[in-house]
Amino acid sequence: MTVHTTLSTTDALRELKGILGDRILLDDEVRELYRSDFGRTVDRLPGAVARCTSAEEVAAVIRFCRERKIPVTPRGQAHTQSGQATTEGGVLLDTSVMTTIHEIDEAGETATVDCGVVWRDLVTATLEKGWIPRVLTN
């Protein structure tokens, strides 16, 4: 499958890489790894992969892309089955590296976590405090 990205989008993605450096991945081998999701029924090659490490970087990517009308698709663990975690030519926002558990408030029964925290890690952290979240995923 050949993907044709307009020159203006390609140039914009290079500009984004200039802003966020090695967290913007443009090389073909990396983009190939992100062209499908868990269901493997949809095949879309992103123009770039953004591996942001903070909410501020996520906001910067979204702002940059919105101003240039470049599609942005968020992706955690890619546990979608119909292509929701893929994008054709746009920026795939990989949140899987944002894994900090900032706070577990037992009294308020809340946890403040980054968007890439997986359920297993949150349950492990709460169990260490003798507490478990009331809602469990399947």
Q: Report yes or no on 2 lying in a domain.
A: no
pLDDT of 116 over the 60 cut? yes
pLDDT top residue among 72 and 77: 72
Closest CA to 59 of 93, 9, 100, 14: 93
pLDDT of 1 over the 60 cut? no
Alpha helices per DSSP H over 1-138: 7-20, 28-33, 55-68, 119-127
Closest CA to 50 of 100, 79, 90: 90
User: pLDDT exceeding 70 applies to what percent of the chain?
Assistant: 82
Predicted confidence band of residue 103 (pLDDT cuts 50, 70, 90)? very high
My answer on whether 70 and 126 are in the same domain is no
Give the residue numbers spanning the domain of 22. 7-94
The winner for highest mean pLDDT among 1-15, 32-46, 118-132 is 118-132
Region 109-137: mean pLDDT is 86
Q: For residues 56 and 54, what is the distance between their CA atoms, to the nearest angstrom?
A: 5
Tell me the pTM. Answer: 0.75
* Count of domains observed in the chain: 2
